[in-house]
């Protein structure tokens, strides 16, 4: 059996695996795709101490760094169930294998919910963006839309308004769902517009985004706005469906962890975007991966010797 079995090979999982292996304990890492969301990213400018890098480049360095250590890497494998059984945690993979470990660190990340209209996939990283903390500076002086009028959409719009020329918020429902304090803040800004009852139908462009089409749901009229960027803010979904009810989660499926990254199940830890951490970023995921590995090590040294 492993001492620490990491599930997920993004920034959180890679960091957890390295921290665990550096303790000289038996470490495994199961991952569907090493690098995780980083592999879908173009420019990364907020990974502190690295002025600028690209997703696939950072993903390759994560993998190379993990390979410097004695980590049993099982890539292209999907986990489908985890359970605590007596002294061990058992992880079942989709290929039928069952792995045993004294502790596990869940770091299966998250995915942005897509709007699913023509142009969204085509213009990803070419004007269609999901993370204002990451990509706002790329749109300096430009007109952008934010799709989604919940808290994350309005926070994004306020954030973007400080950097870009103009922000138009498109909300599907007849009113915004964000907290009123955020709405008031948005309304106090001179370079923002809110359009409600707006159903986005298409993102258009050539090499990059040039505009957006939407249907006014009150009049059924089709409308067009010329702009250069679209931030989709309709939710970040944690990859935790596979856990069922075995591990305690928030109502949106984020794994609840304590200060050491521990879940409600003894010996099972979690880190990164799949947890209830307040913010979802590469540097934050790496920090919480390190925390979870140190937490798991702390747990191990407190167990009675076998
Ligand atoms: P992830 O990166 O999501 O990794 C999850 C890992 O788990 C992957 O290896 C995946 O294959 C694996 N996995 C999932 N389910 C299973 C399963 N059932 N079994 C086995 N393995 C599984 N952050 C920044 O700080 N700066 C940026 O500039 C930036 N830009 C971004 C741009 C885009 C387009 C996107 C999508 C995100 C961006 N982010 C950025 C956010 C950043 O990528 C995430 O916060 C970070 O990758 C989270 O790391 P993680 O390890 O928690 O999860």
The torsion angle over the Cα atoms of residues 259, 260, 266 and 270, rounded to 10 degrees, is 90
> What is the pLDDT, as a whole number, of residue 41?
87
CA-to-CA distance for 297 and 43, rounded, in angstroms? 34
Global pTM reads 0.93
- Ligand 1 near 104 CB (within 6 A): no
Cα radius of gyration rounded to whole Å, the chain = 21
Q: In this structure, are residues 6 and 17 in contact, taking their beta carbons and an 8 Å threshold? A: yes
If you measure from the C-alpha of residue 61 to the centroid of ligand 1, how many angstroms do you get, rounded to a whole number? 15
- Please state the atom number of ligand 1 nearest to the C-alpha of residue 78: 19
> What is the pLDDT, as a whole number, of residue 68?
98
> What is the pLDDT, as a whole number, of residue 299?
98
- Ligand 1 near 108 CB (within 6 A): yes
CA-to-CA distance for 86 and 267, rounded, in angstroms? 11
If you measure from the C-alpha of residue 83 to the centroid of ligand 1, how many angstroms do you get, rounded to a whole number? 24
- pLDDT by 10s per residue, the chain, length 306: 999 999 999 999 999 999 999 999 999 999 999 999 999 888 899 999 999 999 999 999 999 999 999 999 999 999 999 999 999 999 999 999 999 999 999 999 999 999 999 999 999 999 999 999 999 999 999 999 999 999 999 999 999 999 999 999 999 999 999 999 999 999 999 999 999 999 999 999 999 999 999 999 999 999 999 999 999 999 999 999 999 898 999 999 999 999 999 999 999 999 999 999 999 999 999 999 999 999 999 999 999 886
> What is the pLDDT, as a whole number, of residue 282?
97
Neighbours of 207 (CB within 10 A): 8
- Please state the atom number of ligand 1 nearest to the C-alpha of residue 47: 25
The C-alpha angle 64, 70, 71, rounded to 5 degrees, equals 70
If you measure from the C-alpha of residue 131 to the centroid of ligand 1, how many angstroms do you get, rounded to a whole number? 12
How far the first Cα of the chain sits from its last, in Å, is 13
Give Cα 172 to chain centroid, integer Å: 23
- Ligand 1 near 12 CB (within 6 A): yes
């Amino acid at each position: 059996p492993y001492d620490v079995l990491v599930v997920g090979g993004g920034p959180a999982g890679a960091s957890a695996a390295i921290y665990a292996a550096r303790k000289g304990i038996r470490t495994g890492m199961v991952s569907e795709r090493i690098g995780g969301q980083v592999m879908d990213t173009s420019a990364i400018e907020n990974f502190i101490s690295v002025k600028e890098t690209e997703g696939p480049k950072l993903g390759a360095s994560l993998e190379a760094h993990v390979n410097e250590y004695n980590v049993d890497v099982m890539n292209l494998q999907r986990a489908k169930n985890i359970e605590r059984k007596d002294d061990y945690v058992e992880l079942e993979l989709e290929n039928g294998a069952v792995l045993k470990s004294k502790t596990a660190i869940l770091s299966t990340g998250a995915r942005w919910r897509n709007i699913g209209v023509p142009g969204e996939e085509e213009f990803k990283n070419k004007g269609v963006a999901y993370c204002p903390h990451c990509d706002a500076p790329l749109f300096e002086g430009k007109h952008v839309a934010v799709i989604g009028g919940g808290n994350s959409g309005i926070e994004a719009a306020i954030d973007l308004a400080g950097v870009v020329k103009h922000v138009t918020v498109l909300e599907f429902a007849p009113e915004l769902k964000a907290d009123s304090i955020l709405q008031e803040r948005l309304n106090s800004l001179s370079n923002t517009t809110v359009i409600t009852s707006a159903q986005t139908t298409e993102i258009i462009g050539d090499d990059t985004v040039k505009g957006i089409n939407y249907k006014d749901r009150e009049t059924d009229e089709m409308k067009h706005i010329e702009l250069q960027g679209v931030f989709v803010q309709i939710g970040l979904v944690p990859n935790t469906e596979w856990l069922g009810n075995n591990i305690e989660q928030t109502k949106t499926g984020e794994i609840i962890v304590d200060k050491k990254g521990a879940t409600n199940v003894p010996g099972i830890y979690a880190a990164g975007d799949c947890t209830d951490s307040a913010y979802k970023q590469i540097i934050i995921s790496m920090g919480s991966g390190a925390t979870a590995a140190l937490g798991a090590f702390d747990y191990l040294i407190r167990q009675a010797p076998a």
